[in-house]
Structure 1
Amino acid sequence: MAISPGVYFLCLLNLFSFGAIFSSATLFTLENGCNFTVWPGSLAGKGPSIGGGGFALAPGSSSQFQAPAGWSGLFWGRTGCKFDNAGKCVTGNCGGGLKCSGGGEPPVSLVEFTLNGSDNKDFYNVSPVDGYNLGLAVKAVGGTGTCQYAGCVKDLNIDCPAELQMLDSGSVISCKSACAAFNKQEYCCTGDHATPQSCSPTKYSQLFKNACPTAYSYPCDNATSTMTCMGSDYAITFCPTGSST
C-alpha cells in the first residue's frame, strides 16, 4: 500500500497553502540522463495535464512543457514500457498506456510541485516515500529565493535491503517503501502514527535519507526536503549524475 494521502496532506498543509497568484507560466524541462528510454508520467492535482500525461524520452534527450500559474502535480519516470494490447511498464506503470490515467504504481520515485503557493512561492520536492525506481533531481533555473537543488542521485536499487527489493529476472528493478513491504502503522503513518507528531522516521526511512539527503524519506520529512523558489523554471532530470551543478 502507499503512504496515507491524508497524513501526507497534513504534513504539507502549512507549506502548500495557496496565496495570491502573480506569476506567469512556468517552464518544465524534463531531461533523460539514463542510458535507456524513460517514459515520464505526469498527474495534475490542479490545472491541466502536462505532456498529455505521458510520453517517451530517449537517452540524452529532453522535452519542455509550460504550466500555468497555480499548477500543482507530480512527475515520475517509467521504465521497460510496452504499449501493446497487454502492455504496461515494468516500473511506474499508470494504467498500461502511454498517457497516464492515474498516478504511478509504487515503488516509484516522484517529484512534486505546487506553483505559486503561500507567499507566491513555488514548493517542490523529490520523494521516495512510496518507494524508488529511478534517480531523480530538480534544479531551479532563474528564480529568486533559496531555490535549492532537490534530488536523489545515488542509485538506491544497489543498496536496497533484501526485504524491500522488487526483482525482475533476478535483478533489482525498484526498492519498496517499508509501508508497502510490511503494512505496519509505524511505517505507513496510519492508526496511532497518523499525525505529524507521531509520524516519525524509521530505520528504513533513514537508509533513504542517508542516500538522498535532499529528498523526502517519510511523509513528515519537511524540514530538509521541501524546497521553495519564486519566479523560476525547473529542470527535472532522470538518472542525474551530479548535485547542484
Structure 2
Amino acid sequence: MARLTLVATVLSLLFQLYLSGIGVFSASSTIHNKCRYTVWPVILRKAGTTVPLSTTGGSLQKGKSMIISAPASWSGRLRGRTNCSEDSTGKFSCVTGDCGSGECAGGGAKPPVVTLVKITLNGAGGYDFYGVSLVDGFNLPVQVVANAKGGTGGGNCTTTVDLNQNCPSELKVSSDNGGESVACKSACGAFGEPQYCCTGNFSSPSTCKPTSYSKFFKNACPRASTYAFDQKTSTFTCASPDYRITFCPSLAKR
C-alpha cells in the first residue's frame, strides 16, 4: 500500500509539472559567444504568458556556449550585457543592458538598451515568430539561425555588422574609461522626442516614418527591425525549430 501511495504521489507531481509547463519543452536554443570578451545573457519572458525559465541571466565567457529550453507557447526576449563588473560592496552592474543584478530575475534593461532577439513559440497557426530588433539601440552583433521545418522568410535572421564603430557621434555610448564605443543608442533613447519615439501624434504607421537614424541601422542590418512599424521585413516564421543564437558572429564583409 505504501508503495502504491508513493507511486501515486510521484505521478501526481509529474502531472502537476506537466500542467505548469515546466516539463514540456517545444524548442531549445544554443547560445554561442564568439565575442573577444565575456557576455552576460539575459532572458526576459513576456509578462503574463508563460512560466519563467530556470535560467534568466549569468555569464558566458568568450568561445563558450549554453543551451536553454523553453516551454510550449513561450514568448520573450534575449539580450547580451557587456562590460559588467562587481564593485567592492558586491554591487553588480553593466555598461550596456544593465538590470542591477547578476541573474536579473527576468528584469528589463536600463538605458542604454541593446540589441534584442525576440521569439514567440507556437504562435498564430502553430508557427514560431522570431527576429532581431534594433528599435531600442545596438550593443552587440547577433545572428539567429532557426533549424526550420517549414514556415516563411527562410531560417536566418542576421545582424552581423558591428555598428558601434560607425555609430553617429550623437548616439555613441562609451565605456567608463572613455574612448571606446560600446553601444549605439536609438534616436528615441538619445533625444526622447515624439517623432523618434513614435508617441502621441506619431503613434501610427502614417506618421511614424523611418528617420535618418533608423535608416543607418536598416542599411547595415536590413533584416532587423529598426523602428516601431518596421516589422514586414524583420519578422520570420518557422515550424517547430531549434535555434542557434550567436553573439559576435563573423562580421559581414562590406
Equivalent of residue 243 in structure 2, options 234, 239, 244: 234
1:40 is matched with 41
Would you say 1:109 and 2:112 are equivalent positions? no
C-alpha distance in 1 between matches for 2:120 and 2:205: 20
Deviation at 1:196, TM superposition (A): 2.9
Equivalent pair of 2:45/2:106 in contact (CA under 8 Å)? no
1:31 counterpart residue number: 32
Q: TM-score, normalised by structure 1?
A: 0.85
**Is the counterpart of residue 126 in structure 1 residue 132 in structure 2?**
yes
Corresponding position of 1:18: none
Q: TM-score, normalised by structure 2?
A: 0.82
Deviation at 1:242, TM superposition (A): 6.0
Residue 75 (1) aligns with residue 78 (2)? yes
Which structure is larger by alpha-carbon Rg, 1 or 2?
2
Count of aligned residue pairs for this structure pair: 221
Gap regions ≥5 residues in structure 2: 1-23
Please point out which of 175, 196, 208 is paired with 1:187.
196
User: Where do 1:201-220 residues align within 5 Å?
Assistant: 201-220=210-229
Does the aligned pair in 1 maintain the 2:134–2:224 contact within 8 Å? yes
1:158 aligned onto 2:160: no
Higher relative contact order (CA 8 A, sep 6+): 1
* SS of residue in 2 equivalent to 1:192: helix
TM-fit CA distance, 1:97: 2.5
Tell me by how many angstroms 1:87 deviates.
2.4
Task: Show the counterpart of 2:150.
Answer: 144
Q: Gaps (5+ residues) in structure 1?
A: 1-22
- Cα-to-partner distance string for 1:106-154 (whole Å, 9 max, x where unaligned): 3311001111111111111101110101011110014322343112100
Identity of aligned pairs, percent? Answer: 46
Query: Following the alignment from structure 2 to structure 1, what is the Cα–Cα distance between the partners of residues 84 and 129?
Result: 30
CA distance in structure 2 between the aligned counterparts of 1:68 and 1:233, rounded to whole angstroms: 13
Distance 1:197 1:145 in 2: 29
1:141 and 1:233 in contact (8 A); partners too? yes
Secondary structure of the residue aligned to 2:92 is: coil
CA RMSD across the alignment:
1.7
Other-structure match for 1:55: 58
